Amino acid sequence: MARYIKEIELGIAPEKVEEILGDFLQENEFYRTTWKGEACYAADVSIVKEVKFLKYRYEEGVLHFEAWLRDGASKEQGLTGLASMTLKKPYLDVVISLLGRCIQESPQGRDKKDIILQPEKKQSSVYAVLLLVILVLFWALMRSVR
């Protein structure tokens, strides 16, 4: 599954973006690390090391933000879908809150608040349809067993 990736035009001072993101990183105990050769931030979940990842860049008023979870030793998971929901949902919620704080600082903040969820809604609907198909197949199987 793909990373949660957002490009958001904020048009605010880089210092303000660094302040918001720096506070977030500190509050959530993220630290600098390297994942597959790319510099990023990671946070541990209980005794498991480097589970939550993020990276960002703010240039010319545009925030590029990526977040993902580690899946096994070297794979990645996005923040939506059924697998690992106990990790995905809480992390997605704090990421959305973080991006919401950044957008609030933007001059057009109210017009942009829906940006942070748009692509994820499409991915979630795919999983909902898949779940529905599985349930229908299971129901049909159970009826044929009777």
35-44, 72-81, 114-123: range with lowest mean pLDDT: 114-123
Percent of the chain with pLDDT over 70: 83
Nearest residue to 68 (alpha-carbon basis) of 123, 17, 5: 5
Specify the pTM: 0.72
Q: How far apart are CA 37 and CA 79, in angstroms?
A: 21
Say which residue, 21 or 127, is predicted with more confidence: 21
Residue 129 has a pLDDT of 73
Amino acid at 57: R
Q: Who's near 12: CB < 8 A, 6+ residues apart? A: 61, 102, 105, 106, 107
Nearest residue to 91 (alpha-carbon basis) of 106, 72, 70: 70
